[in-house]
Chain A
């Protein structure tokens, strides 16, 4: 469990990071390392170079963009999960981020792991990609051609595969704020506390609109629109658009059952959340 040899760069600006990436097609960005380092140690990944962005100042910000678009929160590439989880601004502006982060691994992993890193690692079993997709957020990346914004709907292209170019650095993610009167909820079922979920679900209820995102049911984060579906039919309506997978921890049938159960639960609880928010 020792990584294969690799070059190591520790740039101090985003431009230097981009230059380093441009010079080595088989390079990987290292931020929190909570997914990447185990892959290196097990030699499941053997990049020729690691570009460690931890020395770049200014990437750890968590800022409410009150004047911008829909008043969401922007999270920098070096903001640790634990900082985002602890942020009152995040909780106030988009509580779904806080709800979901409390399910991300364990405290020690959250202390090092970054939210943006988790987003661009593009694991459909992880919480944050689903949250970003459900909320219609985006990731800003910087590459040789400058900065561009990738909407969540275009970010996830396959299993563990994002549309971030190999010579691009994700510098921040944007989570839209919760609209007045809207409600959100997150729930997941995992074998052990802090494990990847067998199935997780996040709901966003805004007026008549009901949308639910799922983790661990497909190769890429899945979001279904359940607007207008009767409460009793929510689970089946969701399943009509999903194809849960088998693995050593759960059968596809069991995952389908969890989709049924969790869909009802998160929609109910998002509605309750909306009512509480509306009452305030």
Chain B
């Protein structure tokens, strides 16, 4: 027998290609040079330089006679495509609480609401000319008061949208029990006020779209750097007035997503195909970095107020959380981020009585849509800082306070009594939090830390330790599907509709197929995100690809295998139950000479009239078949394929704990990471190397979010650090060399593989764990994240002056 590949550290099949520069991204599509008849036209966008203004006039007259410019579009031109193109962009996820949802137009109509909002779209021979043309468009503005930041949004002395009172897009409340009453009766009470600032995904590849309209076929072909090709397909079809069957969306290699590319359609995803059809030319838009900063999406910004009541052991009796979420100028992605904060805040704990209220607020800034973690980092921050505060108040060990609040292993499935982001109950499927806590304490050296701290203090050095726990609902529905096709060559073509932005899907999905089908791993070829191959799909977000598509692929491979065994049994004149498939060959157990390879089984699966090669002769009408039966049985179909879908009842809940030891410089307030430890439970691991890679990447992104990155808006709504020079994404030099990882495997009962998602976990506890560690080192409450050395210095200074 061959070894099962599930659970093995299989090398990524993608890496050779990526490392040799052979990846193929959207910007690599259609690269014919200018001048050639099939050359691609390039688009550039005029973006608002103002955060809030009325557009009085747009004058494009200087642009039209520039040689090499093919078209310039403003809002008034959109209706010439279809009436719906001139309607606002879709509100993707409506929710009853989102009483004042607003989305922008593909090109601004009458008003701009953030710096970066698209106003005009120019198509030219190359991007240089397109940018020259953009700079010649003149817009007259009437300035309106910009609303920047949560405080300004709440004050509501100015409104982002005239028809949204108080700048409140949504107010939502969920309760379990009676938290205010429980807190009032509790022996101990605390209040916390916390803030988290904005950051953003910052994939290496920004947004990008290429479109080609084929007038002979009446068909649109669209390449786009997205996390949901089927979503873009549906949106483009609706907006362009096409049937779904006329639109193909292909997602080639994607240079990172981290959430930002799940929002769709971006204005350019509609404007590019619109221009391509109107001009009869292939049109490309490739976002540059400044555009990514000011016209894609951000996340994280929240202000939180927490009231908690607890007993002498630190056991939660009531938790009452109110928070204000800055969703930027529009709400295309609904309330997903604050809903996740409000529900995932609970982590591995039983609050007994819980009330959470949030207001999702408009500001004149870039929109907010999910960024890796998608609201969980903020929730984890609120809960874990509360745990730390309780421990400090009671003089107890921070780990012990957490432990008394854990859901116990025998309490699963555990219903938290809330509604999660997928509209279903927040019911945890499995987990073992006490075991995780023991592992993380050992891994980071929790018990030994006080001695280390004393030793360092004797040398005049300051160190601190932090711990944070999280639970992550992963693998949300509604579904994913898979198609497995065994070719007559014996190669196995696998298609699933969700997209890939670097996760290694081609590797892990091939592992699953090889295990189930008994073919060799090398013979499996995986295609993702191509609507021609799998038109039904949802997308890659919420740590769902392995759970959803992995399960669907497993089921589809199972179906293909059933068919293989049926045909092989007939060919080998054996019983199906006596057959085995090893290395792509079906043989009779104990009789290895009696065998047939998968390619031949594939030939036999398709009864032929015509032979095309030596191999296919075996399936022609004078070679095989029982003359007394139809060549294809009534309950069968030709071809060796398997197709299936996986649609779980609800999400599966991964969990984990992070701990960090930091050193803070007594003079310069620089913050150095001495040790970072992660215990992670995502059920059964398909490929531990890839899971660890996800954790490493997540931790690195979390370090960025906690210690380096922020969106520095000024009061007028200008983003002051819209470049990698001033937006401090950490380099490899800022990330510790070693991140210690230990796994716990608590399988999910909800899917056939017992797996849970792993994509976002690494980033969730960062703000919480660093705030805790710095607070421990400094003895100063840390209530605002991220924190820079300059800010830590300010905190020290104000403590000295208040002392």
A contacts, CB < 8 Å to B: 1-5, 38, 42-43, 189, 191-196, 198, 248-251, 253-254, 257-258, 261
What residues on A are CB-neighbors of B794 within 8 Å?
Answer: 251, 253-254
User: When each residue 719-734 of chain B gets 1 if its CB lies under 8 Å from chain A and 0 otherwise, what string results?
Assistant: 0110101101011011
Q: Is the CB of A253 within 8 A of B797?
A: yes
Q: What band does the interface of chain B fall in when counting residues whose beta carbon is under 8 Å from A?
A: 20 to 34
B131 interface residue (CB < 8 Å to A):
yes
Most buried by A among B708, B730, B793: B793
With A2-B128, A196-B725, A261-B667 given, can you name 11 additional A-B contacts, CB distance below 8 Å? A1-B288, A4-B132, A5-B128, A189-B789, A191-B788, A248-B726, A249-B728, A249-B790, A251-B790, A254-B794, A257-B793
What residues on B are CB-neighbors of A194 within 8 Å?
Answer: 731, 733
With the chains together, A248 CA to B725 CA distance in Å?
12
With the chains together, A99 CA to B288 CA distance in Å?
35
What residues on A are CB-neighbors of B288 within 8 Å?
Answer: 1
**B132, B731, B790: the one within 8 Å of A250 (CB):** B790
What residues on B are CB-neighbors of A4 within 8 Å?
Answer: 131-132, 135
B712 interface residue (CB < 8 Å to A):
yes
Counted as pairs of residues, one from A and one from B, with CB atoms less than 8 Å apart, the total is 68
B670 interface residue (CB < 8 Å to A):
yes
B281 interface residue (CB < 8 Å to A):
no
Q: Is the CB of A192 within 8 A of B708?
A: yes
Knowing A2-B128, A192-B728, A261-B668 are in contact, say whether A248-B712 is a contact too (CB < 8 A): yes
Knowing A1-B289, A254-B790, A261-B667 are in contact, say whether A192-B131 is a contact too (CB < 8 A): no
B54 interface residue (CB < 8 Å to A):
no
Q: Return 12 A-B CB contacts under 8 Å, by A number.
A: A42-B723, A192-B730, A193-B731, A248-B712, A251-B790, A253-B793, A254-B669, A254-B789, A254-B794, A258-B668, A261-B667, A261-B668
Q: Is the CB of A2 within 8 A of B127?
A: yes
Q: Is the CB of B667 within 8 A of A257?
A: yes
Q: Closest Cβ of chain A: how far from B63's Cβ, in Å?
A: 15
9 tightest Cβ-Cβ pairs between the two chains A and B: A193-B733, A254-B790, A1-B288, A250-B790, A2-B128, A248-B712, A261-B667, A254-B793, A2-B131
What residues on A are CB-neighbors of B127 within 8 Å?
Answer: 2
With the chains together, A2 CA to B127 CA distance in Å?
7
Residue of A with least CB distance to B127: A2
User: When each residue 644-670 of chain B gets 1 if its CB lies under 8 Å from chain A and 0 otherwise, what string results?
Assistant: 000000000000000000000001111
B290 interface residue (CB < 8 Å to A):
yes
Q: Is the CB of A195 within 8 A of B733?
A: no
Residue of B with least CB distance to A2: B128
**B132, B290, B670: the one within 8 Å of A1 (CB):** B290
B contacts, CB < 8 Å to A: 127-128, 131-132, 135, 288-290, 667-670, 708, 712, 720-721, 723, 725-726, 728, 730-731, 733-734, 788-790, 793-794, 797
Q: Is the CB of B708 within 8 A of A191?
A: yes
Most buried by A among B288, B720, B789, B797: B789
With the chains together, A258 CA to B730 CA distance in Å?
21
**A42, A249, A253: the one within 8 Å of B788 (CB):** A249
What residues on A are CB-neighbors of B290 within 8 Å?
Answer: 1, 42
Q: Is the CB of B734 within 8 A of A189?
A: no
Most buried by A among B132, B289, B670, B790: B790
**A38, A191, A254: the one within 8 Å of B728 (CB):** A191
Q: Closest Cβ of chain A: how far from B438's Cβ, in Å?
A: 36
Knowing A194-B731, A248-B721, A257-B668 are in contact, say whether A43-B135 is a contact too (CB < 8 A): yes
**B131, B721, B726, B734: the one within 8 Å of A193 (CB):** B734
Q: Closest Cβ of chain B: how far from A138's Cβ, in Å?
A: 30
With the chains together, A3 CA to B135 CA distance in Å?
12
With the chains together, A198 CA to B289 CA distance in Å?
24
With the chains together, A44 CA to B670 CA distance in Å?
33
What residues on B are CB-neighbors of A261 within 8 Å?
Answer: 667-668
Q: Closest Cβ of chain A: how far from B137's Cβ, in Å?
A: 14
Q: Is the CB of A192 within 8 A of B734?
A: yes
With the chains together, A43 CA to B132 CA distance in Å?
10
What residues on A are CB-neighbors of B669 within 8 Å?
Answer: 254, 257
Q: Is the CB of A5 within 8 A of B132?
A: yes
What residues on B are CB-neighbors of A253 within 8 Å?
Answer: 793-794, 797
With the chains together, A4 CA to B723 CA distance in Å?
19
Residue of A with least CB distance to B287: A1
What residues on A are CB-neighbors of B734 within 8 Å?
Answer: 192-193
What residues on A are CB-neighbors of B721 within 8 Å?
Answer: 248
With the chains together, A179 CA to B289 CA distance in Å?
47
Q: Closest Cβ of chain A: how far from B366's Cβ, in Å?
A: 17
With the chains together, A196 CA to B789 CA distance in Å?
15
What residues on A are CB-neighbors of B790 within 8 Å?
Answer: 198, 249-251, 254
Knowing A2-B131, A192-B733, A253-B797 are in contact, say whether A248-B720 is a contact too (CB < 8 A): yes
Q: Closest Cβ of chain A: how far from B148's Cβ, in Å?
A: 14
What residues on A are CB-neighbors of B132 within 8 Å?
Answer: 4-5
What residues on B are CB-neighbors of A251 within 8 Å?
Answer: 790, 793-794
Knowing A3-B128, A4-B135, A253-B794 are in contact, say whether A192-B731 is a contact too (CB < 8 A): yes
Residue of A with least CB distance to B722: A42
Q: Is the CB of A189 within 8 A of B712?
A: no
What residues on B are CB-neighbors of A42 within 8 Å?
Answer: 290, 723
What residues on A are CB-neighbors of B788 within 8 Å?
Answer: 191, 249-250
